Amino acid sequence: MDHVHFRRGRLTGFVSPVCQPGKGCLRTIACKGAECRQKLPVAHHPVLPVSSAAMGSNGSPQFTSGTKIIPAGVLLIPIDTKVCPHPTSWGRTVIVAAHPDDEVLALGGHFRTVHPRIFHLTNGAGFLPIPSLAHRRAEEVKKALAMGGIASRSFSAGVVPDQGVAAAIPALVQRLKAFTDRVRADCMVTHSFEGGHPDHDAASVICQLVGQGRMPIYEFTSYHNATPYSPQSSLRTNQFLRLVTPEMTVLLSERQRRLKQRMLKCFRSQAEFLGRFSITEERFRIAPRYCYAKPPHEGTLLYESFGWRINYLAWWSAVESALKEMGVSLHV
């Protein structure tokens, strides 16, 4: 097997990706470089042709800085070798968060230095049969954002119910486009595609549709299933599903942690769940290009273990319908 290195924060080396029968296009590449012992899991991607010029002398695709390598008939390595810049250098940042509280978990420690604009996709209620939940969550987020110094004009409240994002993609794309234009966004930061929550995964789709070719898209960590092959799912927080592009981990100062903790405490309706997240660091990366036509990982997705009505197939069917309706494609 060929190898991939991390050298000064950039990926170098070679890889020979092969789509494994029955396993989709997911595999782990073991690095055999002397200076690097880590394994680099590779995500699946659409099949596209590759020019022979992109192939290394050993017949394997070769990573070079800033080059996307697409092996013929196999898979695209979602490679962006640049290290994610520090949030304070992102410029006018729009956090695209699926639910109230996601934005604080994502970037709360940086609110007073980044001054993000915040776009919510949902009102955080709707699935649970509690009529007042939407109102309660709106009050909670209002209080938290005020604490973080976010002005009300920098905030767009969510309009669809929890678990409803995939079914509302065309309308949400329009709203987000208008919002990013209004605030003159330099970049967006959102959830990764990891099967933790269907709205998180749909947020990733929406940001690709709005931002691809227009502005950088970064990702923050949310949560996913740490035991996808076990009948009992378990929550993994504060980490990306797999290493795809170099990550930026920022250890929060004592002051940043205190602010984040205070803001999280505003979300009293979510207190138990939020207690499962670490507030010592925040982690970001440049969003890779995903193949949403396949599940983000094998086994059971976290949200599929909750007994909700939505599973991956229903989610993808909604996304596919939205893409058809909009007449767009997400292929790289």
The span from the CA of 267 to the CA of 141, in Å, is 7
In the complex, the smallest distance separating the C-beta of residue 68 from Zn ion, rounded to whole angstroms, is: 30
Residue among 43 and 95 whose Cβ is closer to Zn ion: 95
In the complex, the smallest distance separating the C-beta of residue 61 from Zn ion, rounded to whole angstroms, is: 36
Packing angle, helices 198-211 and 312-326, rounded to 10: 20
Residue among 99 and 236 whose Cβ is closer to Zn ion: 99
Position closest to Zn ion via CB: 99
In the complex, the smallest distance separating the C-beta of residue 85 from Zn ion, rounded to whole angstroms, is: 24
How many chain residues interact with Zn ion (CB under 5 A)?
A: 3
Amino acid code (one letter) for 319 = V
In the complex, the smallest distance separating the C-beta of residue 40 from Zn ion, rounded to whole angstroms, is: 27
**Chain Cα centroid distance, residue 121:** 14
Residue among 15 and 121 whose Cβ is closer to Zn ion: 121
Residue among 15 and 96 whose Cβ is closer to Zn ion: 96
Burial class (CB in 10 A: 0-12, 13-18, 19+), 35: exposed
In the complex, the smallest distance separating the C-beta of residue 258 from Zn ion, rounded to whole angstroms, is: 23
By CB under 5 A, residue 99 contacts Zn ion:
yes
Residue among 13 and 108 whose Cβ is closer to Zn ion: 108
78 within 8 A of 45, measured Cβ to Cβ: yes
Burial class (CB in 10 A: 0-12, 13-18, 19+), 253: exposed
The span from the CA of 117 to the CA of 158, in Å, is 13
Beta partners for 236? 224
The piece of 92-100, 157-165, 239-247, 272-280 that touches Zn ion (CB under 5 A) is 92-100
The piece of 40-48, 101-109, 284-292, 300-308 that touches Zn ion (CB under 5 A) is 101-109
Instruction: With residue 286 as reference, give the H or E element that holds it.
Output: strand 281-286
In the complex, the smallest distance separating the C-beta of residue 132 from Zn ion, rounded to whole angstroms, is: 20
Near Zn ion by CB under 5 A: residue from 74, 98, 266, 301: 98
Residue among 81 and 156 whose Cβ is closer to Zn ion: 156
In the complex, the smallest distance separating the C-beta of residue 199 from Zn ion, rounded to whole angstroms, is: 6
What b/e sequence results for 194-219 when a residue is b if at least 16 CB atoms lie within 10 Å of its CB, and e otherwise?
Answer: bbbbbbbbbbbbbbbbbbeeebbbbb
Beta strands in 73-190 (DSSP E): 93-97, 117-120, 155-156, 187-190
The piece of 29-37, 99-107, 149-157, 228-236 that touches Zn ion (CB under 5 A) is 99-107
By CB under 5 A, residue 102 contacts Zn ion:
yes
The piece of 3-11, 31-39, 79-87, 91-99 that touches Zn ion (CB under 5 A) is 91-99
Which structure tokens are listed for 186?
Answer: 């330099």
Residue among 102 and 282 whose Cβ is closer to Zn ion: 102
In the complex, the smallest distance separating the C-beta of residue 119 from Zn ion, rounded to whole angstroms, is: 13
Which structure tokens are listed for 83?
Answer: 């290290």
Nearest to 62 by CA among 6, 10, 13: 13
**Residue where the block lists tokens 């009300």:** 152
Where do contacts with Zn ion occur on this chain (CB under 5 A)?
Answer: 98-99, 102
